[in-house]
Amino acid sequence: MADAPCEVWFYHLERTGLDQALPELLEKTLQRGWRALVRTPVADRLEHLDGWLWSYREDSFLPHGAAGEPNAARQPVLLTTGFENPNEAHALFLVDGAEPGDLGGFARCVVLFDGGDEAQLAVARAQWSRIKATGLPVSYWKQQARGWEKQA
């Protein structure tokens, strides 16, 4: 799917939580004409996100489904705990310290982590080091008062 190497973007959440940041980033992904895969290692998070993406805004929702459901391959946004890419997503979103696995085929991988959670910070730092060592393009985005700013 992706000809160029996967770009890996680390998003340091400081001013909003995952529930606010993720839908906005998913909307931007869909506006590009891309599909998205959201991976978490926490099954309970899947249930929460499934409900949240239908109701996070009164005037909108994000069309999505969960892996293992009928028509999962047709979903523009797919929620999963697995390493497969059944909807042939262009963008992979990692939450709750999910591991990236093989990034071949993705145009972008977005690692979202909570700046107030020491465990998530430690996981993100380790992932940064491992991914950077593979030679993939890596950047770090920090939440500022006026929005996201690329820091590295």
CATH architecture of the domain with residue range 7-150 = 3-Layer(aba) Sandwich (3.40)
Radius of gyration of the chain measured on its C-alpha atoms: 15
- Domain extents for the chain? 7-150
pLDDT digits (tens, 9 = 90+) for 71-87: 999 999 999 999 999 99
So what's the pLDDT on residue 26? 96
- Is the full-model pTM beyond 0.85? yes
pLDDT digits (tens, 9 = 90+) for 35-49: 999 999 999 999 999
Structure tokens at 27: 């909307």
Distance between terminal CA atoms of the chain?
27
DSSP assignment letter at 54: H
Say which residues have a Cβ less than 8 Å from residue 69's Cβ, sequence separation at least 6.
none
* % of the chain beyond a pLDDT of 90: 76
Structure tokens at 150: 């690329």
